[in-house]
Amino acid sequence: ASLLNAIEMAPRDPILGITEAYNADKNPKKSNLGVGVYYDDNGKLPLLECVRKAEAQLMEKTAPRGYLPIDGLAAYDKAVQDLVFGADSAVVKEKRAITAQAIGGTGALKLGADFLKRFAPDAQVWISDPSWENHRALFESAGFVVNNYPYYDATTKGVNFAGMLDTLKNMPAGSIVLLHACCHNPTGADLTDAQWTQVIEVVTSRGLIPFLDMAYQGFGDGIESDGKVVGLFANAGGPVFVSNSFSKSFSLYGERVGALSIVATSAEEAARVLSQLKRVIRTNYSNPPIHGGQVVATVLATPELRALWEEELAGMRVRIREMRQAFVEKLKAKAPNHHFDFVITQRGMFSYSGLTKEQVTRLREEYSIYAVDTGRICVAALNSGNIDYVVDAVAQVL
Ligand code: PMP
């Protein structure tokens, strides 16, 4: 057999498979709650006004397209670092952090994983159970063994914090721990401030390497409060890796804008880290594309666009929370014996709804409502037009 002839078909991406089935469905009432994007109340992907305005400004001074530096647009890296750590933070002032533009949050994770494989080749990686399904694949493809730490507790519909902490306490020093900074995907269950304090204590005292993934800053309680945990880790002393993404917060999915930041203990150490990170980038894709980074940098650095962005992001956050509230209240009226109050406490775009695989199947087959088999629904795909239909259907399958 020839080389290619012997290759087997790879398994389909489970979430993209849901969208394919949804697209083929002819029911006019169909709803896709399986997606991982924010839709507005009309069920449409928004183009933010701050983005439109920044693009209009950029169009007026169209420039030739040279290569960006390996670590991206300097103005972008600076603006992102200020956003992620706080412009007045000690880390930024002491120049202890480096930030490199990346191809979305996924690209940032991959850079971090490749970097860590070079300098901590024998460490193992720990991700939450469950986690965004690409976390495992990304770190495994970088050559790591990936383990789970307990996270979601299906009985309480919250975090199994005792189990999580216990596992952290028993990991070998130098283990890499991937944590969701806010708006946990897929569960929507976040740690409390007091729990974060305990996690930071264990991570620091045991010499673990924290890798914070922040793909939903601004979707939980607000830009600052969602980012707070990053600042707490940054001040705890050890190295910290932070991947962040503007896919959701700027509704710029296809522009692939994200960044990797690494917190070091001194400016001099940070400079060495950046020099090595650049080698990782160089051998991956050489340097990032210009447009998305320029848009985000323009918005973040222009006071009136920045204010507009914060307003638009707040609009997305508030709408999601209204949908959580409406879902719970309407369901309470239709199915008074079932309790969904936990959906209100959950944060971000997703909810582990507690629906079983069988219930998800019935929703799909009988009502053309598409959710993930795990029961994950995207609350940002609910809107005033589909919520009653969805709630009625959920009440029927309970
Ligand atoms: N991390 C998490 C937890 C995510 O949910 C996502 C996107 N769904 C990403 C990273 C990747 O973000 P991006 O689309 O910007 O690559």
List pLDDT tens digits, range 180-213. Answer: 999 999 999 999 999 999 999 999 999 999 999 9
Known catalytic residue at 213: yes
Ligand 1 geometric centre to CA of 338 (Å): 32
Q: Give nearest CA residue, ligand 1 atom 12.
A: 105
Tokens found for residue 396 = 């029927």
Confidence category of residue 306, pLDDT binned at 50, 70, 90: very high
Q: Peptide bond before 130: cis, by omega within 30 degrees of 0?
A: yes
Asked whether 36 lines ligand 1 (CB < 6 A), one says yes
pLDDT at residue number 13: 81
Q: Say if residues 246 and 252 touch (Cβ distance below 8 Å).
A: yes
Q: Residues 66-72: what's their mean pLDDT?
A: 98
Q: Peptide bond before 186: cis, by omega within 30 degrees of 0?
A: yes
- CA-based torsion, 34, 37, 40, 45: positive or negative: negative
Q: Is 26 a residue whose pLDDT tops 80?
A: yes
Helices (DSSP H) in the chain: which residue ranges? Answer: 14-24, 49-60, 74-85, 90-93, 104-119, 133-141, 161-169, 193-205, 223-234, 267-284, 291-301, 303-334, 342-345, 357-367, 387-397
Confidence category of residue 294, pLDDT binned at 50, 70, 90: very high
Let me know if 322 is exposed, middle or buried by CB neighbors in 10 A (0-12, 13-18, 19+): middle
Write the CB contacts of 216 (distance below 8 Å, at least 6 apart in sequence): 182, 183, 185, 226, 248, 249, 348, 349
Q: What are residue 22's DSSP bridge partners? A: none
Write the CB contacts of 88 (distance below 8 Å, at least 6 apart in sequence): none
pLDDT at residue number 375: 96
Q: Which atom of ligand 1 is nearest to the CA of 245?
A: 15
Q: Is 366 a residue whose pLDDT tops 80?
A: yes
pLDDT at residue number 156: 94
pLDDT at residue number 213: 98
Mutual angle of helices 104-119 and 267-284, in 10-degree steps? 110
**What is this model's ipTM?**
0.99
pLDDT at residue number 356: 96
Q: Which atom of ligand 1 is nearest to the CA of 256?
A: 15
Q: Which atom of ligand 1 is nearest to the CA of 184?
A: 3
Mutate to test the pocket of ligand 1, among 106, 109, 128, 184 (most ligand atoms within 8 A of CB): 106
Confidence category of residue 15, pLDDT binned at 50, 70, 90: confident
Q: Is 14 a residue whose pLDDT tops 90?
A: no
For 252-279, write each residue's pLDDT tens digit.
999 999 999 999 999 999 999 999 999 9
Q: What's this model's pTM, rounded to 2 decimal places?
A: 0.97
Share of the chain above pLDDT 70, in %: 100
Torsion of CA 334, 377, 225, 163, to 10 degrees: 100
Known catalytic residue at 26: no
Say which of 110, 132, 157, 226 is annotated catalytic.
132
Q: Give nearest CA residue, ligand 1 atom 2.
A: 215
- How far is 6 from 1, CA to CA, in rounded Å? 6
Asked whether 105 lines ligand 1 (CB < 6 A), one says yes
Q: Residues 31-38: what's their mean pLDDT?
A: 95
Mutate to test the pocket of ligand 1, among 179, 245, 248, 257 (most ligand atoms within 8 A of CB): 245
Map residue 100 onto helix, strand or coil. Answer: strand
Asked whether 258 lines ligand 1 (CB < 6 A), one says yes
Say which of 126, 213, 309, 330 is annotated catalytic.
213
Q: Residues 336-341: what's their mean pLDDT?
A: 94
Q: Say if residues 188 and 350 touch (Cβ distance below 8 Å).
A: yes
Asked whether 245 lines ligand 1 (CB < 6 A), one says yes
Q: Is 238 a residue whose pLDDT tops 90?
A: no
Q: Which atom of ligand 1 is nearest to the CA of 213?
A: 1
Q: Residues 43-54: what's their mean pLDDT?
A: 98
